[in-house]
Structure 1
Amino acid sequence: MTIAASTQIEMLDDDFHTHPHTYYHRWREQGPVLRIHTPSGVVSWLVVGYAEARAALRDPRLRKSADGIRELFHQKHPTAPPNAPLANLDHNMANSDSPQHVRLRKLVNKAFTHRAIAELRPHIEQTTHALLDEMAEHDEVDLLTAFVLPLPVRMICDMFGIPRDEIPGFQQWARDLFRVVGDERAQAFRELRSYLSGLVARKRADPGIDLLSKLIHAHDNGESLTEAELEDMAVMLLVSGHGTTVDLLTTGSLALLRDDSLSNTLRANPSTLPAAVDEFLRFDGPIHLSTIRYTTEPIQIGDIEIPAAEFIHIAIAAANHDPALFPDPDHLDITRDASHHLAFGHGAHFCVGAPLARMEATVAFAALLHRFPNLHLACTYPDLIWHNNFGFPTLTELPVRLGTTSAHQGS
């Protein structure tokens, strides 16, 4: 099939963000690749098939350079406002290509190796149990505020050497970045960047053994991070370093709260938790759409030829629900082998924090299930409140009771 055979453009409206899989199922019947019109006005290609998504994620011809994206965006939208999202991308690993991406990745990889993360396990367990001790003092809590958000925030803050008395401020920024929209989110982001700029200056003058100090003084064959790269890298690692885990803990906790048999199975067989975490990631992972890519030459994806100078999104959520690879994909099944999901990406841009997210989630769910065997929703499922977070619904709170009487959960 050529581009001429796929000229229809699908609109992404608010209903898509509320019920994305309804759209993905329909689009998948048309083929693994289609064109979409995003709410921001950008026309892009969308990859929904698993095989095609996996291939696209590792294809070096699909570029991610912030400067390249910005230039192409202005070519296509010359009258766009200067604060348009694609005109203001940071220069970090997520928005860079080789050789810059390789250089940046080398400078942070050592902090996120499996061995380095394994050494963090005692601290993760200690922090987890301390948070659960605080929860135990109440009959009812918002699980997001009491546990889901503070655990990964404390871990990434400790890795960055953020003083303990400054963590509450960072936790509030993290909460705002994931729960508010518009000007409030923009303000939280500005405050976070300003804080990090000051923290970098402090670490430069008085370095420690933390990750940020290592990034400031890291060298690879004589190369180091520029000041702009350092700030952008710090923002990316701090935000994505906890954000991915927050979403994983949220969706996994909700799955456990809605299915007593699932909770009982995992409580009785804690060794199956790593596989369950992979299934949580496949079923409702933290990333629904990949960050944007673009073509500099014609590229074949599946049987579609995409011309040069085109934007491309990869629908991670759609690929992880492709029935060609995952039978009955809309059913959460912790007995399936979901280890080949794409929730953390694939190829050169595979999420550097994946081992940390997996470790934190496994420890957190094991401790939560053991400590509170009667944990249950404090409201019905339809009463939960969601908001639009980067185009996809996110819970604003997750009220739970620690006692023995379960609320009717609804469907």
Structure 2
Amino acid sequence: MPAGPEFVADPYGFYAELRRSRPAHFVRLKNGLYAWLITRYADARLVLSDPRFSKDPGRAPADWQEAGRGKPLEDRSGLGAHLLTFDPPEHTRLRSVVSGFFHRRRLAAKLGGVIEETVETLLQRLATTDEADLIESFAAPMQATVICEILGIPAAHRADFGRWCDDVVLSRGTGGAARAAAMGNLLEYITGIVAEKAAAPGDDVISTLADPDGELSLDEVVPMIFLLLVAGYETTINLVGNGMLALMADPGQRSLLRDRPDLLTSAIEELLRYDSATEFSTWRFTLEPVQIADTVIPAGQPVLVALAAANRDPEAFADPDRLDLQRADNAHLSFGHGVHYCVGASLARLEGRIAIGGLIRAFPEMALAVRPEEVEWKSSLTVRGPVRLPVRLRPR
């Protein structure tokens, strides 16, 4: 499977060829893992929701698990099992503990004002300069604030917490000492705050998870917090980065959104479909032989769904390579499908509407400060987004 910078920047032509050729492709990845890759929309929905596909990495074949390769990307922290490595009923039990915090109405009531205030502060800072990195100066600090608020991280600790998140998530492709140190700092901090919240709980996610009379053991609490942190932090940053990049490349659609802010809800759905912040699903493993069209995937095989490919399938979306902010019936798969549908989808949508709406309103002539081919993309199997997004905030 291609892995060069040209493919990472624009994989959609390659995915179109895969969709046309056959329904499931056996591929080898640059990290040594292999998988059956699903690229068509209807097949993707099946794999994401069919109980014959397990999330338990213990179901993977022995050679796939050798030499440490049995830790799939969702368990790269070494923190053990969590939501993304369990099937029902264990997955159902774990998810039920946190799902109430991510209900759409509760999020709007609890976090809507926080997000709006945070975005407005960041927009005011951007207004003092002519050029900026939209990831470093806007998307990342916005998301650090929101994640800290929902988890219950005290204000005095948020600067350190945000820096550790940046080192763990945004520098993942480069690795190195900074990331390792940040991982250790985050793990130590999370373990400590779990104990504090158990003794003096508040109205936040960590307090609920840390409840000594609650559903979870300590061995389950820490991985859950780490998962919510890493998954929620990076994907929303990518939503803002990918979304603004798409709008800057299509002035007509950007002008439409500027003139029609009532389109923000459908616009966010289309931006999620057009260039998904999550390129691939997390790993699944066949519990028995499964037939996908004319291809049979044997039992015990690793399977990946190319969400970005499914979201551009012409069998599901008319003219799929065109950005259309008024697209109706936009049932994209960027948040997955089935029981593992992203628990934070409503939060990401809320943040996307407020953040992208604010940027379009404040800087209607925003433009890339580099050539499109100079944008550096994250080297990652699961997520998709720019490492940096240098922009000019107003015309020269």
Question: TM-score, normalised on structure 2?
Answer: 0.91
Q: Deviations over 1:27-68 (max 9, x none)?
A: 1122221211122323321111100100110111110024x2
> Is the Cα–Cα contact under 8 Å of residues 55 and 85 in structure 2 kept in the other structure?
yes
SS of equivalent to 1:149: helix
Following superposition, the deviation at residue 402 of structure 1 comes to 2.7
Please, which of 250, 258, 261 is the counterpart of residue 241 of structure 2? 250
Q: Deviations over 1:247-301 (max 9, x none)?
A: 1000111122233322211011001111111111111111111111111212222
Please, which of 171, 178, 182 is the counterpart of residue 188 of structure 1? 182
SS of equivalent to 2:37: strand
For 1:53-202, list aligned pairs within 5 A: 53-66=44-57, 68-69=58-59, 72-73=60-61, 75-77=62-64, 79-81=66-68, 85=72, 88=78, 90-119=80-109, 120-176=111-167, 177-180=169-172, 181-183=174-176, 184-202=178-196
SS of equivalent to 2:183: helix
The reply on whether 1:344 has 2:338 as its aligned counterpart is: no
Following superposition, the deviation at residue 367 of structure 1 comes to 1.5
Structure 2 unaligned residues grouped into runs of 5+: none
- Give the 3 Å change call, closer, same or farther, for CA 344–79 of structure 1 in structure 2: closer
The reply on whether 1:286 has 2:277 as its aligned counterpart is: yes
Structure 1 unaligned residues grouped into runs of 5+: 1-10, 406-411
Q: In structure 1, what is the Cα distance between the partners aligned to 2:63 and 2:69? A: 14
Q: Deviations over 1:160-211 (max 9, x none)?
A: 1112222122222222212342234344333322221122122223222221
- Give the 3 Å change call, closer, same or farther, for CA 393–114 of structure 1 in structure 2: closer
- Give the 3 Å change call, closer, same or farther, for CA 322–218 of structure 1 in structure 2: farther
Deviates more, 1:287-296 or 1:373-382: 373-382
SS of equivalent to 2:277: coil
Q: In structure 2, what is the Cα distance between the partners aligned to 1:393 and 1:107? A: 29
Return structure 1 stretches of 4+ with deviation > 6 angstroms.
none
Q: Deviations over 1:74-132 (max 9, x none)?
A: x1247524786468573111111011000001101110011111212122111111111
Task: Quote the residue 2:39 is aligned against.
Answer: 48
The reply on whether 1:21 has 2:12 as its aligned counterpart is: yes
Task: Quote the residue 1:276 is aligned against.
Answer: 267
Q: In structure 1, what is the Cα distance between the partners aligned to 2:70 and 2:184? A: 14
Q: In structure 2, what is the Cα distance between the partners aligned to 1:128 and 1:280? A: 19
Q: In structure 2, what is the Cα distance between the partners aligned to 1:201 and 1:82? A: 33
Following superposition, the deviation at residue 382 of structure 1 comes to 3.0
For 1:375-394, list aligned pairs within 5 A: 375-390=366-381, 394=385
Following superposition, the deviation at residue 218 of structure 1 comes to 7.6
Report percent identity of matched pairs: 38
SS of equivalent to 2:67: coil
Which residue identity does 2:67 align to in structure 1?
A
> Is the Cα–Cα contact under 8 Å of residues 179 and 394 in structure 1 kept in the other structure?
no
For 1:362-381, list aligned pairs within 5 A: 362-381=353-372
SS of equivalent to 1:252: helix
Following superposition, the deviation at residue 22 of structure 1 comes to 2.6
Task: Quote the residue 1:301 is aligned against.
Answer: 292
Whichever of the two has the greater Rg, that structure is: 1
- Give the 3 Å change call, closer, same or farther, for CA 403–44 of structure 1 in structure 2: closer
Question: TM-score, normalised on structure 1?
Answer: 0.88
> Is the Cα–Cα contact under 8 Å of residues 178 and 389 in structure 1 kept in the other structure?
no
The reply on whether 1:334 has 2:325 as its aligned counterpart is: yes
Please, which of 356, 360, 364 is the counterpart of residue 351 of structure 2? 360
- Give the 3 Å change call, closer, same or farther, for CA 165–389 of structure 1 in structure 2: farther
Which residue identity does 2:182 align to in structure 1?
A
Which residue identity does 1:238 align to in structure 2?
L
Deviates more, 1:168-177 or 1:30-39: 168-177
Following superposition, the deviation at residue 138 of structure 1 comes to 2.1
Which residue identity does 2:133 align to in structure 1?
D
Which residue identity does 1:104 align to in structure 2?
L
Which residue identity does 1:137 align to in structure 2?
T
Deviates more, 1:203-212 or 1:11-20: 11-20
SS of equivalent to 1:388: coil
